[in-house]
Amino acid sequence: MGSPPAAPAESPAASAQPAVTAWPGAPGAPAGPAGAPPQPALRRIRAFSRSNVDARVVWFPDPTGQQWTAVIDSGVTVIIDGLSIQVAGQQVLTSIDVSADRMVIWMHSAGGEPNLSRGELQDPAVPLEIYMEGNIVFREGQRVIYAERMYYDVANQVGTVLNTELLTPAPNYQGLVRLHAEVIEQTGRDRFVARNAFITSSRMGRPGYRLQSGQIELEDVRTPVVDPWTGLPLLDEDQQPVTESQQLAAARNNFLFLGPVPVFYWPSIATNLKDPTFYLRSARLKNDNVYGIQVLTTWNVYELLGWRNRPAGTDWELSVDYLDKRGLGHGTSFTYRREGLLGLGGQAAGLIDFWGIADRGHDNLGFGRRDLQPEADYRYKAFAQHRHTFGDGWQLTAELGKLSDRNFLQQFYEQEWDELKDQTTGVELKRIRENRSWSITADLRLNDFFTQTEWLPRADHFWLGQDVFTGLTWYEHTSIGYGRLRRLDAPANPADQPFNYLPWERSSQAGERVVTRHEIDWPFQLGVLKIVPYLLGEVGHWGEDIDGNDVQRVYGQAGVRANLPVWKVNPYV
């Protein structure tokens, strides 16, 4: 890297008789040699005028006559085909297209003066270097570079660009990422180092947002996918390493600008350009009578930590929330959906979510509960879910739910309190085969302000829609387990009223439970009606009911179900 090499000293022959060639303008320019395109093993160089005015080139040979220097002082476009690159271990051919007002080309030609108007064929290993000035447009695939001055070594795919902009596509983003810099050095085909630069996805001359940095390293690489818990590379079905394409940006001395105003500083950042945001995922400003003025922010933890090779299929966020009347809230959320976990195959998905606050206010929960002292000074929720689906119908599900007090969700996460189930803690191992399944479940109660049944453990078996005899269908569910009903504690704050136990919450009980239920159906069609006569029976044993007594139950039912399908076509849809 560095400055382009100086033009070679002119030999006596070159000084006396430089070769002068005129290239025709682009509209009528020949497309190159007639016939088939060049062989993949060769590199082809073609040149055309950039406008309707003929371009002039002066060739200077070196003393051996095999190295030539072209000086072009008018607009020119150079196209180089047959460049070989590595993509995921595969050799792929590509082209570059360069336009500039002025250009100097250093190239090898053993057959005398090159003729770029018809196309010059070369071994791709021989040196080919280009220096450009003035209104430069450099294209390679979807990547475009605009610059005033540039040097490029074609054989080694390295170069230096001054006062430039780089436009490159980013995965999962419908547009181009824009990198503007005083100096960009290309140290490899997919690696760039920019100084005094900014990066943005805005195409405006003065972008509304940008990441301004002292130095930015931009890299487009294919990396092996590594299991974050085991540290071992993941393998595909052919036992080959699994790879993924990543566009990575690492920057130092960073300021995040909104318009002309710097709003955030961070000494270093490493980000994957699949995520079009920098550091800050979201920011909201709110105000109400319960929390006061609120500034709610969400941050990208991977970028804050400068973690470049982050685990595939994961996302990690940090929440920092200022609530004027309550305090400083803080939390984190980690989600994942990926193939394999802890060395085990299959699809794994889940989340870990925490948010807490040292609450200095009182709860406002509606009529009659406008000013309640919280049961805890530090209030929080900790919630986690995990599901791992293995082969052959196996599935593992786990959940953890812990709250600081009974009113936390209702005060800070009202929608979750209204719409979702109570937070529980348990684990289930299940296997599903065709129309049958069995499972083993264990549940524990961690929140003493909820009434919940603990299972230590419980096993279930289901058999659905099994044909038996001729025209009969059998359904079965059998369950056996040891359960412990744990009643919630009354509120510690006597002002937290009204509060009453439900009729079945007399006390806590524990005991075994064994139940099996069976149903036989006889479905048949009667005209447009589907008729299903059925017999249902259940036998159950409970070691302790709500009165503390041992209970046995036998239950039976017989009847007929009927349904009539009704449909209508809407001609306007």
DSSP collapsed to 3 states, 25-54 = CHHHCCCCCCCCCCCCCCEEEEEEECCCCC
pLDDT average, residue stretch 318-339: 94
262 inside domain: no
Long-range CB pairs of 452-455, under 8 A, 24+ apart, other chains included: 452/422, 452/424, 452/485, 452/486, 453/483, 453/484, 453/485, 453/486, 454/483, 454/484, 454/485, 454/486, 455/426, 455/481, 455/482, 455/483
566 inside domain: yes
Residue 527 structural domain = 424-573
Statement: residue 319 has pLDDT above 70: yes
pLDDT average, residue stretch 367-374: 87
138-142, 326-330, 544-548: least confidently modelled range: 138-142
What pLDDT score does 16 carry? 34
238-247, 345-354, 401-410, 510-519: least confidently modelled range: 238-247
Distances (CA, A) of 186 to 6, 252, 499: 20, 18, 70
What pLDDT score does 224 carry? 65
pLDDT average, residue stretch 53-67: 82
471 inside domain: yes
What pLDDT score does 245 carry? 59
519 inside domain: yes
- Return mean pLDDT, the chain: 82
414-435 tens-digit pLDDT: 999 999 888 899 999 999 999 9
What pLDDT score does 26 carry? 37
pLDDT band with cut points at 50, 70 and 90 for residue 464? very high
What dihedral angle (degrees, nearest 10) is formed by the CA atoms of 251, 255, 256, 262?
Answer: -170
pLDDT average, residue stretch 77-101: 75
Alpha helices in 165-314 (DSSP H): 301-305
138-142, 445-449, 515-519: least confidently modelled range: 138-142
pLDDT average, residue stretch 498-503: 87
pLDDT average, residue stretch 327-346: 88
What pLDDT score does 346 carry? 85
CA–CA separation, 524 and 167 (whole Å): 67
pLDDT average, residue stretch 264-280: 72
The neighbour count for residue 422, using CB atoms within 10 Å, is 14
484 inside domain: yes
Query: How many domains in the chain?
Result: 1
Strands 19-23 and 327-341: unpaired
Q: Which residues of 394-417 are buried (b: 16+ CB within 10 A; e: fewer)?
A: ebbbbbbbebbbbbbbebbeeeee
CA–CA separation, 369 and 374 (whole Å): 12
E strands in 390-545 = 394-403, 425-433, 436-444, 452-468, 472-486, 509-521, 524-526, 529-542
Highest-confidence range of 168-182, 272-286, 304-318, 532-546, by mean pLDDT? 532-546
Helix (H/G/I), strand (E/B), else coil: 306: coil
145-172 tens-digit pLDDT: 888 899 999 888 888 988 888 777 655 5
pLDDT band with cut points at 50, 70 and 90 for residue 227? low
Considering only residues 452 and 470, tell me which one the structure prediction assigns the higher pLDDT: 452
Which class for 148: exposed (0-12), middle (13-18), buried (19 or more C-beta within 10 A)?
middle
Q: What is the DSSP letter of 524?
A: E
pLDDT band with cut points at 50, 70 and 90 for residue 480? very high
CA–CA separation, 417 and 406 (whole Å): 11
Percent of the chain whose predicted confidence (pLDDT) is above 70: 83
Helix (H/G/I), strand (E/B), else coil: 498: coil
Distances (CA, A) of 509 to 99, 249, 393, 488, 505: 84, 59, 35, 12, 10
Largest separation between any pair of C-alpha atoms in the chain: 118
CA–CA separation, 527 and 300 (whole Å): 62
474 inside domain: yes
CA–CA separation, 396 and 349 (whole Å): 11
pLDDT band with cut points at 50, 70 and 90 for residue 21? very low
E strands in 289-424 = 292-300, 314-323, 327-341, 344-358, 378-389, 394-403
515 inside domain: yes
Q: Using a cut of 0.75, tell me whether the model's pTM lies above it.
A: no
Residue pair 40/82 in contact by the 8 Å Cβ criterion? yes
Statement: residue 261 has pLDDT above 80: yes
464 inside domain: yes
Nearest to residue 527, comparing CAs of 563, 568, 559?
563
Percent of the chain whose predicted confidence (pLDDT) is above 90: 38
Nearest to residue 134, comparing CAs of 147, 152, 121?
147
pLDDT average, residue stretch 297-322: 86
Statement: residue 283 has pLDDT above 90: no
pLDDT average, residue stretch 126-140: 89
Residue pair 530/539 in contact by the 8 Å Cβ criterion? no
pLDDT band with cut points at 50, 70 and 90 for residue 49? confident
